[in-house]
Amino acid sequence: MFLAIDIGNTNITLGAYDGDELIFVTRLATDRSRTPDQYAIEFKQIFALHNAPSTGFSGAALSSVVPELSSTMCEAIERITGHTPMVLGPGIKTGMNILIDNPAQLGADLLAGCIGAANLYPLPCLVIDLGTASKISVIDKNGAFRGCTIAPGIGISLDALSQRTSQLPSISLKTPDHAIGTNTLDSMQAGTVFGFAAMIDGLCNKLENELNQGKMSAVATGGLARDLIKSCEREITFNRELVLYGLKVLYEKNRK
């Protein structure tokens, strides 16, 4: 058994592998105030919920963009698995050449997703992560990380729209039938869904042209990606657990 954990600004994603099989995935709200014991108890309950054993772990790996929660989570994981988790950061062998101004600034979740994509999809590749922020990373034909674009996430944009306007309500994200909205709800959903889909298509085309290495494959991950990419013109593969898979690849690479 192997445990992969990705701590994001909004959610903590936890996945348990039995060999190469991902036996379950769960998501928790990111709570910076909780203690290691509280997280450990919740993890125990999650394993019981999925009828999964909470013993016999060979190791664990962690990626985090919430530094203040990393040590808390490491303690909780060690209590559950009996292993100190591998924390993705400086000193970890990635096998990926990171060609940016300061490689130490690259987010752990971004790197794990790109490692996963480079091991699963044809290169060059665009890795689209639609979470709290909307990120598109570029992996070139040699498997090097060339950089990325970062834009506000869909949820942040919707929150700002409703909070900064007097007459626009909070809405759930749903793909409308038409781009021309005939009421406030449909108009907001159309602008958000089709607008973000057009942004992704436009950025992907621009990144592909700038890299100038031919047609690029594209994979999307993140909680909002599955439905949103259906409105994109570019062919994009959906892989919700790409970051967890990347953590597993990195753990095996460093263990060897």
Q: Do you know the residue count of the chain?
A: 256
Please indicate whether residue 109 is annotated as part of the active site: yes
The dihedral through the CA atoms of 109, 213, 207, 239 has a sign that is negative
- 147 neighbors 139 (Cβ within 8 angstroms): no
Distance between CA atoms of 109 and 114, rounded to whole angstroms?
A: 9
240 class by beta-carbon count within 10 Å (0-12 exposed, 13-18 middle, 19+ buried): middle
Residue 224's Cβ-count burial label (10 Å; 0-12, 13-18, 19+) is: middle
Tell me if residue 152 falls in helix, strand or coil: strand
3-state secondary structure 204-240: HHHHHHHHCCCCCEEEEECCCHHHHHHHCCCCCEECC
118 in Cβ contact with 125 (< 8 Å)? yes
Backbone angles phi, psi at 78, to 5 degrees: -65, -35
Q: Which of 20, 37, 101, 109 is catalytic?
A: 109
Describe the crossing of helices 242-255 and 108-120 by its angle, rounded to 10 degrees.
90
The residues carrying an active-site annotation are 109
